[in-house]
């Protein structure tokens, strides 16, 4: 999100759109890796940003007829601090978006047929111009050097993954990790720049150019 977006949002009374992302991770000889994508410049939201697979919730994601396995929506709802219907739609959106953007399907039961055809069709996408496994430490280095642009939630997640160090440590921390919705604090400074505080981290965006 640009500083102009942050400046305009409060005045416009913008309502956040529900969305979900998934951080795929794996161990490597050089440390923890995660799958990331760079959004094409033509995207209306966050063009050029490096992101995790994901996207906004579609109306069909809250359909109770969508097959479900494992821990029920009520369990997710209690950890996320929301009603079961909203929790179900977010989890479903996460699974759907991950499949659409990477071909990875984290769902049971698997469809009897059509998975490979759907996978082939969905991977011919237009939302990203780069995608693949990246070293978490190197991703943060690139962000610090302004070699890549990321939204604050992406940076916070990468920092958490770096602190964990490996897949086993990440999985061990999952039961105690808060899934409650975070509400960042956004402040416009006297020089016109924007300060955003989220999850104990501070991000500063330069003032938008004068018109």
Rounded CA separation 115/103 (Å): 9
* 2 phi and psi angles, rounded to 5 deg: -85, 165
Tokens of 65: 């007829």
Q: Read off the pLDDT band of 202 (50, 70, 90).
A: confident
Rounded CA separation 127/198 (Å): 26
Please, where are the H alpha helices in the chain?
3-12, 73-80, 84-102, 115-122, 136-144, 152-164, 167-173
Q: Give per-residue pLDDT as tens, 71-100.
A: 889 999 999 999 999 999 999 999 999 988
* 167 phi and psi angles, rounded to 5 deg: -60, -40
Question: Are 201 and 155 in contact, with CB atoms under 8 Å apart?
Answer: yes
pLDDT at 6 over 70: no
Question: Are 86 and 18 in contact, with CB atoms under 8 Å apart?
Answer: yes
Give the CA angle between residues 21, 9, 51 to the nearest 5°.
25
> What is the average per-residue pLDDT within 175-201?
82
Task: State the pTM of this model.
Answer: 0.79
Average pLDDT, the chain: 83
Helix (H, G, I), strand (E, B) or coil at 33: strand
Q: Read off the pLDDT band of 103 (50, 70, 90).
A: confident
Strand (E) or helix (H) holding 198: strand 194-198
Q: Give per-residue pLDDT as tens, 52-64.
A: 999 999 999 988 8
Give the pairing of strands 33-39 and 185-188.
unpaired
Look at 30-34, 102-106, 168-172 and tell me which has the smallest mean pLDDT: 102-106
Rounded CA separation 182/113 (Å): 39
Look at 10-14, 19-23, 76-80, 182-186 and tell me which has the smallest mean pLDDT: 10-14
Q: Is 117 exposed, middle or buried (0-12, 13-18, 19+ CB in 10 A)?
A: exposed
Strand (E) or helix (H) holding 57: none
CATH number of 9-180: 3.90.79.10
Helix (H, G, I), strand (E, B) or coil at 61: helix
pLDDT at 106 over 50: yes
> What is the average per-residue pLDDT within 149-154?
89
pLDDT at 7 over 70: no
Percentage, residues of the chain above pLDDT 90: 41
Q: What is the domain partition of the chain in residue ranges?
A: 9-180
Look at 125-134, 139-148, 165-174 and tell me which has the smallest mean pLDDT: 125-134
> What is the average per-residue pLDDT within 158-170?
95
């Amino acid at each position: 999100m640009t500083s102009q977006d942050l400046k305009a949002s409060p005045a416009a009374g913008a309502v956040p759109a529900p969305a979900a992302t998934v951080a795929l991770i794996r161990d490597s000889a050089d440390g923890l890796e995660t799958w990331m994508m760079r959004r094409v410049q033509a995207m209306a939201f966050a063009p050029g940003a490096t992101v995790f697979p994901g996207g906004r919730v579609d109306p069909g994601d809250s359909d109770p007829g969508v097959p479900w396995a494992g821990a029920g929506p009520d369990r997710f709802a209690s950890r996320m601090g929301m009603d079961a219907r909203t929790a179900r739609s977010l989890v479903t959106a996460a699974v759907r978006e991950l499949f659409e953007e990477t071909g990875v399907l984290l769902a049971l039961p698997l469809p009897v047929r059509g998975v490979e055809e759907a996978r082939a069709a969905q991977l011919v996408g237009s939302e990203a111009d780069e995608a693949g496994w990246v070293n978490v430490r190197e991703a943060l280095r690139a962000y610090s050097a302004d070699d890549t642009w990321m939204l604050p939630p992406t940076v916070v997640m990468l920092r958490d993954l770096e602190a964990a160090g490996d897949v086993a440590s990440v999985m061990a921390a999952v039961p105690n990790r808060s899934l409650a919705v975070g509400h960042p604090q956004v402040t416009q400074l006297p020089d016109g720049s924007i300060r955003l505080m989220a999850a104990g981290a501070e991000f500063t965006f330069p003032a938008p150019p004068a018109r």
